[in-house]
Amino acid sequence: MIILNGWKNKLKPMKRTKHNKKKRISVQSAKAKGRHLQQYVCAKISEITGYEWGSSGDDKAIESRPMGQKGMDIRMESQVRELFPFSVECKFQESWAVHGWVEQAKDNQMKGTDWLLVCKRSRKKPVVIMDADRFFDLYKAYIG
């Protein structure tokens, strides 16, 4: 109960009507958004390394894993990992649980690579999240 200016007001839960219902995205649409983000990342890695990319089963050096499979979201052959030494986890979600995603990326991290998260929300550009110490080490090496 809340008391305002001497009056007692009870808060009542808001009834759901057709005007205030939250619209939920279908599972199929959510998976499609995630798949598109993975394909975007595959294309970017392909640009950097010069290796072709494809969808799962295309037998390319860089592949986007099907939704729901265990392991990293982007599968890369060893020659690609030499040029792009990251285990990539992609997340296209509206509410972010970054620390949980970091743990997932670490759990799926391949030996000899650094974990890397590529995260996106609707109508926003993707962002990359990685270990801060590793980022500064890479930057130090870059500048010389």
**Per-domain boundaries in the chain:** 26-143
Q: Which residues contact 87 (CB under 8 A, 6 or more apart)?
A: 72, 105, 108, 109, 110, 113, 114, 115, 116
Which CATH number describes the domain made up of 26-143? Answer: 3.40.1350
Q: 88 - beta bridge partners?
A: 116
φ/ψ of residue 54, rounded to 5: -160, 175
Tens-place pLDDT, residues 16-52: 666 656 678 898 998 999 999 999 999 999 999 999 9
pTM for this structure?
A: 0.80
Over residues 68-112, the pLDDT tens digits come to: 888 999 999 999 999 999 999 999 999 999 999 999 999 999 999
pLDDT at 1: 47
Identify the weakest region by mean pLDDT among 58-62, 112-116, 119-123: 58-62
| Distance of alpha carbon 75 from alpha carbon 55, whole angstroms | 10
